[in-house]
Chains A and B, each alone.
Chain A
Amino acid sequence: MAFRIIASQCTQCGACEFECPSGAIKFKGEAYVIDPNKCTECKEAFELQQCAYVCPVPKTCVPAPA
């Protein structure tokens, strides 16, 4: 259970990094990456996934395939 960022569409604005309540998002190399082991999909913190709702590009921060 985690979200992921489609690197080719990411603008590298970094909003997701500081909105993430779990510290799961870091800038690595050329893009922001979500650590699936740390991502909680914001459960117990917020109603909605912060990274996906702050992301300025549609369909760029999405649920990772199971």
Chain B
Amino acid sequence: MSAPMISLESLTSTTTMNQLLATAKSGACTSSSCGSSAKPDDFDPAIWEKIKDHPCYSEEAHHYFARMHVAVAPACNIQCNYCNRKYDCANESRPGVVSEKLTPDQALRKIVAVANEVPQLSVLGIAGPGDACYDWKKTKATFERVAREIPDIKLCLSTNGLALPDHVGELADMNVDHVTITINMVDPDVGAKIYPWIFHDHRRYTGLEAAKILHDRQMSGLEMLTARGILTKINSVMIPGINDEHLLEVNKWVKERGAFLHNVMPLISNPAHGTHYGLTGQRGPQADELKALQDRLDGGAKLMRHCRQCRADAVGLLGEDRGREFTLDQIPGEVSYDASKREAYREVVARERGDHVAAKKEAIGMIKAAGSIGTLSFAVATKGGGRINEHFGHAKEFQVYEASASGISFVGHRKVEQYCRGGWGEEHALETVIAALEGIDIVLCAKIGDCPKDQLREAGTRAIDDYGYDYIETAISALYAEESGAEPLTATA
């Protein structure tokens, strides 16, 4: 299509530096400022500058950039009913879970090792496994070391908010420009059902009193961050029967106090996790319940729909976790930072993004010009870069898009068991993948075999691999136009 095919893949999978730099320099434009043309129309330029490389704050950026979390802050000052602090498993992927706690010095070594190997790395976050603001000395020591070594890395943290008002000044001084606060309630009566206790001002508080203090501190922390121009994301855990309806109210409160983004995540609840909710049978929401609530919240504080609820030691693009490649025992005692890979990658991304934005614009124009045919849903297998570049059988998740007369929107993702391992497909895995794709009209992937394609068709989903390596929006608009127009879709199948 329109893109010069200097693929991001060739950058991220390449092994030699010369190859990488040759790829980076092969394009026409080498100006680092050309990335600004990638700014979507709906953002203020100053805000776009802050979020354009942050995968968690910009859906658009999450196709290109990676984050890493370092688990330097294990201490916490509140107990949540969805959290069990004893839990630790390398196979679990969810917030608060971590396998290896690090000192600030160990964290620096790990961050440098990752920055040398993962060119997409743009953000360092501290997300516990406890609370980054409560375990402040370690958080601060880590940020200071990293900022000295890799000055262009973005620093961000996530907190329950209780200790946040004590550190907003220092956060601003250290140029931390993204903070996530987990806010599950704005009514202490609701809070008392979520938080059995808090530790504050050298005392343990319980019940309503605890929830009231937490609420007051969360709101004042948020207001202080907004006053300093620090972008805030509010994470809310959707707990059916406890705070699901109430999150509409939460959305209103945080929007009024300047929150940039609201991320509603499903409660993950399982007796084996040993959490209070897990043990008492509190269920998490179904995917459709979550989406229905997110749809009702649209129009309030801007919603984040691309969250993958990652671990407190995750490394990589949001859909992947390369944490296990970078455990301490695999990192040499001395590592020094080499900026070349990250710089080369950024140059290519800057160019690629401008092209992607142009392709997107064209795609949306095409959809708007086509007649309305209701909403079509797409599940896309992608490795990043905003392209359809993953084989059906290799996908561990599908990104879900909806196309309607109003345009194309990213609405979420569906995690699946990898169907193809070592060259052949596993029947059982295929069944679970098909179940996970229920309700999807069209699957887009780089390649798919005849057998899974037929089984998907029987389940009511068309799988199309004719648009392999195209931009996601380009394929969606072409199919949408085709569907609405004279030609039947079968012409492309």
**A binding-site residues for B, Cβ under 8 Å:** 9, 11-15, 18-19, 46-48, 50, 53-54, 56-57
Contacts and interface: CB of A to CB of B under 8 A. Distances in A.
Nearest to B197: A53
Looking at B79, B137, B199, the one whose CB has the most chain A CB atoms below 10 A away is B199
A54 B74 contact: no
A13 B134 CA distance: 11
B75 A18 contact: yes
Nearest to B136: A18
Interface of A is mostly: loop
A11 B134 CA distance: 16
A57 B87 CA distance: 12
B203 interface: yes
B85 A54 contact: no
B92 to A, nearest CB: 15
Interface in B196-241: 199, 202-204
B64 to A, nearest CB: 35
A54 to B, nearest CB: 5
Contacts of A11: 74, 85-86
Contacts, number: 43
Given A15-B130, A48-B203, 11 more contacts: A13-B85, A15-B199, A19-B202, A47-B203, A48-B202, A50-B202, A53-B199, A53-B204, A54-B204, A56-B79, A57-B86
A16 to B, nearest CB: 8
Interface of B: 74-77, 79, 85-86, 101, 130, 134-135, 137, 199, 202-204
B135 A14 contact: yes
Contacts of A15: 75-77, 130, 134-135, 199
Looking at A46, A54, A57, the one whose CB has the most chain B CB atoms below 10 A away is A54
Contact of B130 (A9, A13, A47): A13
B74 A14 contact: yes
Contacts of B135: 14-15, 18
Nearest to B79: A56
B77 A54 contact: yes
Contacts of B134: 15
A56 B76 contact: yes
B76 to A, nearest CB: 6
Contacts of B202: 19, 46, 48, 50
B137 A18 contact: yes
Contact of A53 (B86, B101, B130, B203): B203
A15 to B, nearest CB: 4
B203 A14 contact: no
B85 A48 contact: no
Contacts of A50: 202
3 closest residue pairs by CB, A with B:
A15-B75, A13-B74, A53-B204
Contacts of B130: 13, 15
A46 B137 CA distance: 22
A48 B130 CA distance: 22
6 contacts: A11-B85, A14-B135, A15-B130, A18-B75, A48-B203, A53-B203
A11 B97 CA distance: 12
Contacts of A54: 75, 77, 199, 204
Contacts of B77: 15, 54
Contacts of B86: 9, 11, 57
Contacts of B204: 48, 53-54
A48 B75 CA distance: 19
B74 A12 contact: yes
Looking at B74, B135, B137, B202, the one whose CB has the most chain A CB atoms below 10 A away is B202
Given A53-B204, A57-B86, A14 B75 contact: yes
A56 B74 CA distance: 11
